[in-house]
Amino acid sequence: MALAGITLIWGATFVLVKQALQDVSALLFLALRFSLASLALGLVFRPLSSKFSNPATLLRGGVLAGLCLFSGYLFQTFGLKYTTPSKSAFITGLSIVMVPLLSGLLRRKLPQISEGLGVAAATLGMGLMTLEGEALAIGRGDLLTLACAFSFAVHIVVVGHYAPQVSFAALTLVQIVTAAVLASGSFWWAEAMVIRWRPGVAVALVVTGLLATALAFSVQAWAQQHTTATRTALVFALEPVFAWATSFLLTGELLSLRATLGALLILCGILCAELKPVQRARHPSV
């Protein structure tokens, strides 16, 4: 439920961020977003800093997670310059397929049957929701977005691996600070810097910085102490469903029959992985 809650936040901020990017360059927006989140997390978690343990493990896991997080946003941003938003959304969602494969390599163990079926259903559903027309051609932007999906998949696996070993608060702080440093070191040379301080930009920064970053990644690090990376990825597949719902509430956009079927398949995929109707083995996170 906690993971579904932050997925709702991410889906709900899609329209907000899209509007804000008309007045601010993407990497500068990321730098400001992660910097604001770092400041908030530093203030909130400072009283707990004396309880942070395993500094070597924390630094290794936090920096690696932050690198993956920034890489994902970086590849997604530049990929969108050369591909359509619908294809970008689907290709990014392929991380739900990559996570159980990467987890299996890490644990030297194949995913459970129900997890595999859930991933397949959720992937098909995401495709129905996002791909349109002749959207199957592969271009430079698609390859960049595929790198984005891989980065996000590795991020989920890394957080799942290190979250049980260190404080979730410390892990969150280190990874967000790492992403902020990387974003701050790239926005001034990787693209033309543009910013027009309008209310939409300020609101988007506050919402994404505090809710979609500081709160969301704190919850993710906490939740992955108690569940697997595969189940985390499947819950994150709800993001396009929430994005569609938000778009309907704010702009009146309706779901087509095909998109509705896609949303139902995503939900079925998550239920399949959660309830495990095919395999009754005890879940490793319990």
Q: How many angstroms separate the CA atoms of 183 and 70, rounded?
A: 7
Summarize the confidence of residues 160-176 as an average pLDDT.
90
Please tell me the predicted confidence (pLDDT) of residue 218: 93
Q: Report if residue 130 sits inside a domain.
A: yes
Report the range of poorest mean pLDDT among 109-123, 162-176, 213-227. 109-123
Summarize the confidence of residues 274-280 as an average pLDDT.
66
What sign does the dihedral 104-89-198-251 (CA atoms) show? negative
Residue 135 has pLDDT above 60, yes or no: no
Please tell me the predicted confidence (pLDDT) of residue 109: 74
Q: Number of structural domains, the chain?
A: 1
Residue 202 has pLDDT above 50, yes or no: yes
Residue 253 has pLDDT above 70, yes or no: no
Q: Report if residue 286 sits inside a domain.
A: no
Q: How many angstroms separate the CA atoms of 89 and 187, rounded?
A: 23
Q: Report if residue 69 sits inside a domain.
A: yes
Summarize the confidence of residues 176-205 as an average pLDDT.
90
Q: Report if residue 181 sits inside a domain.
A: yes
* pLDDT tens by residue, 210-245: 999 999 999 999 998 888 887 888 888 777 777 777
Q: Report if residue 284 sits inside a domain.
A: no
Q: How many angstroms separate the CA atoms of 195 and 167, rounded?
A: 36
Please tell me the predicted confidence (pLDDT) of residue 285: 45
Q: Report if residue 9 sits inside a domain.
A: yes
Of the candidates 68, 134, 113, the residue with the CA atom closest to the CA atom of residue 272: 113
Residue 190 has pLDDT above 80, yes or no: no
Contact 168, 53 (CB under 8 A): no
Residue 282 has pLDDT above 60, yes or no: no
How does 222-241 read in b/e, with b if 16+ C-beta sit within 10 Å? bbbbebbbbbbbbbbbbbbb
157 vs 241, residue with greater confidence:
157
Q: Report if residue 282 sits inside a domain.
A: no
**Domain assignment of residue 28, given as a range:** 2-47+57-275
Summarize the confidence of residues 112-130 as an average pLDDT.
80
* pLDDT tens by residue, 25-60: 888 999 999 999 999 999 998 877 766 778 889 999
Phi-psi region of 54 (alpha: psi -120 to 50; beta: other; left: phi over 0): left
Q: Report if residue 251 sits inside a domain.
A: yes
Residue 284 has pLDDT above 60, yes or no: no
